[in-house]
A = this chain, B = another copy of it.
Amino acid sequence: MNTENNELAKSVVNEVLKNDLFSQWLGIKILEIREGYCRIEMTVRSEMINGLGIVHGGICFSLADSAFAFACNNRNNLSVALDTSINFLKAVHVADTLTAEVREIHNGRSTGLYQISITNQQKETVALFKGTCFRTGKKII
């Protein structure tokens, strides 16, 4: 993971995020980008709750899915999500700040496997996401 690759990673993610209107709606901020890696955060707003008064599962998933995209695409090899899963470990509440951090488990030529943990402001893991992607070989920028 050299400097040049990390610079490319940042350029790709900046370009992607510029057009990513849903990640913008979520309020996602980039904390760190490296080759095959990212750490991002968002703060939960009241319009993100479900009918039981806690935060909708789709919010955690969306944050993790954005982190997945920012990590698995950032070698400038357009990758599409095939199978993703998420386990919910702890309820999330309005005003919580969630951080998603990526671990690249496998970076294959044609496919990749990533794990994303989501923690709240008390460093408690609230959800664990797993994503398999297929690499198309197309450039993004």
Task: Mark A residues whose CB is within 8 Å of B.
Answer: 15-23, 25, 46-53, 56-59, 61-63, 65-66, 69, 78, 80-89, 105-106, 110-111, 113, 125, 128, 130, 132, 134, 140
Contacts and interface: CB of A to CB of B under 8 A. Distances in A.
6 smallest CB-CB distances across A and B, nearest first, come from A58-B62, A16-B51, A20-B51, A85-B85, A22-B56, A83-B83
Nearest to A53: B19
Q: Is the interface of A mostly helix, strand, loop or mixed?
A: mixed
Given A56-B62, A65-B56, A128-B105, A23 B51 contact: yes
B132 A130 contact: no
B66 A52 contact: no
Contacts of A15: 51
A73 B136 CA distance: 21
Nearest to A125: B105
A78 B125 CA distance: 23
A76 B25 CA distance: 33
A89 B110 contact: no
